[in-house]
Structure 1
């Protein structure tokens, strides 16, 4: 077997390469995709997992999961592990000494914060505005006002064309004006006032969107930046990394090219992305297990119903570059000293 087949030792972190040698092969899968519908979809967290486990070891781990769960299903998914009766199997999978420990990582995206980060980035080019608005908006605007704002922002950024070309712009700005009229606290009012003055930028964005070719990069798609973040994590230190990813409709040839080009511009040693059918690769199935269970654990923590034991087991896997705005839940989910994108300060 080559170096990649031999794998890393349990507990050894990624990114320890010296910039030479064969590419580290990392198998990936995601959980929680709702397309560009991030505010009214079925899930509030998106998770993208990367697993560096030798093929033979992954097959043995998958066989062990099957032996412990004993389901007749042809293909096991994360939902099998999330059933209470199989909790011990999930704990074994994530625990120190388990098949994934030291060999896997998961990038988390809090969807509501992702929308706020994208809309303030587009209109204000100010990353601090996203943090400020996200951390005060719900309290200052109330739950209904906050949901209304998120839905209007999602509609503005979404690639789908509905009605007149600038109808999403009119709707978003009318929503912002209505929320300002309710006189929220000054900390939120300041960001809303800045957003209200950005009609030109918003209309220019919708015009660009209407002229974009098929296969353009959606602003609201969390999968593509998550893949780049996963490649960055595993190639830290300069070691080349190659991703083997479950097939997804979003991953067209044009978008894979965007991922690879973005990685190159960022100095990430990504040598390529290969798409495979999950059931044909035990490593990708393990990535599915991690992505699906991480999404549920993180969502429960975000919504105040977290399981302390499962959150603690997940913590070593969470990538620092995760896109997360809620300070309380991040404090529980993040390894020590981890600070996700856009939440510093």
Structure 2
């Protein structure tokens, strides 16, 4: 009988991250991929791909998606079986859920993950209300903002759908209080427009499997600040033992082949092509409950 290691190290990268521009129809999904490969194994994979793609330096997932590279694509995905995972988030659904998570409940670092409240029914009614979602995004962009934008607040309420009962709990007084906390950079509030934070949480929960701690090596990403990662780790530690997030390190992907492999997988999964569904099935999972549609 083999004994499961008390911790695992995974390397991560994303594809489709667009900052606060979450409603761009050209980039509707963000994928967060992770692999638990040793560095030597990842380097061997990259060397083979470099040879097959006939590229010495720069290589991207879209090159693997060309018809003539189908054998290389299938080889890569088969090589990763049992050592990789992809978490996907529909950005419009994420924004729709954030309205409720921010303005109808006490925001937490579990919001937007499987640990949070299931808002899927309301999300289904809101995710195509682009005017309302755009007004919410505009309202909650608070970087370098020191005063509440009352014009943005007015637009948010003017575009709010009247036929969604759950939104009746979103009052102006409540929104003003939460917005002031965001403007004041209250550390207890998770960032409202950063899907990589819940994506990281879901990745950690997947690899922890209820009994392991996870050491994360991640491509450099400004959204995952030390403060946010620390608060996410604290939130998870309060709910699971051992603490799911063991450590978090950001690296330059050019110097870590494991992150390069994760980058390939994230880019492939983000395309959502019908001919990739079966190939990606072992690695993908549904988005968080509040993002499912």
* TM bucket normalised to smaller: 0.7 to 0.9
Structure 1 residues 162 and 295, CA, compared in 2 at 3 Å: closer, same or farther? Answer: farther
Structure 2 contact 93–292 (Cα < 8 Å) conserved: no
2-structure distance, mates of 1:230, 1:271: 13
Structure 1 contact 17–237 (Cα < 8 Å) conserved: no
Structure 1 residues 40 and 159, CA, compared in 2 at 3 Å: closer, same or farther? Answer: farther
1:267-295 deviations in Å (ceiling 9; x for gaps): 14221011111111111100001111111
| 1:73-222 → structure 2 map (5 Å cutoff) | 74-94=57-77, 98-125=78-105, 127=117, 130-137=119-126, 146-160=129-143, 161=145, 165-176=149-160, 179-180=161-162, 188-192=163-167, 194=168, 198-212=171-185, 217-222=190-195
2-structure distance, mates of 1:214, 1:237: 27
Q: Which residue number in structure 2 is paired with residue 269 of structure 1? A: 244
Q: Which residue number in structure 2 is paired with residue 70 of structure 1? A: 54
Establish whether residue 289 from structure 1 lines up as the match of residue 278 from structure 2. Answer: no
1:76-112 deviations in Å (ceiling 9; x for gaps): 2222223333233222222xxx221111001111000
TM-score, normalised to structure 1, is 0.73
RMSD after superposition: 2.7
2-structure distance, mates of 1:17, 1:155: 50
Deviation at 1:162, TM superposition (A): 9.4
1-structure distance, mates of 2:25, 2:292: 24
Deviation at 1:25, TM superposition (A): 0.9
Of structures 1 and 2, the one with the larger relative CO (CA 8 A, separation 6+) is 2
Structure 1 residues 237 and 136, CA, compared in 2 at 3 Å: closer, same or farther? Answer: closer
Structure 2 contact 6–211 (Cα < 8 Å) conserved: no
1-structure distance, mates of 2:23, 2:239: 29
2-structure distance, mates of 1:116, 1:285: 32
* Structure 2, gaps ≥5 residues long: 106-115
What is the number of residues matched between the two proteins?
279
| Max Rg structure | 1
TM-score, normalised to structure 2, is 0.85
2-structure distance, mates of 1:200, 1:131: 25
Structure 1 residues 17 and 78, CA, compared in 2 at 3 Å: closer, same or farther? Answer: farther
* Local SS of the residue matching 1:316: coil
Q: Which residue number in structure 1 is paired with residue 230 of structure 2? A: 257
2-structure distance, mates of 1:171, 1:31: 31
Establish whether residue 34 from structure 1 lines up as the match of residue 18 from structure 2. Answer: yes
Deviation at 1:245, TM superposition (A): 0.8
Deviation at 1:30, TM superposition (A): 0.8
Instruction: Please identify which structure carries the higher helix content.
Output: 1
Deviation at 1:216, TM superposition (A): 7.5
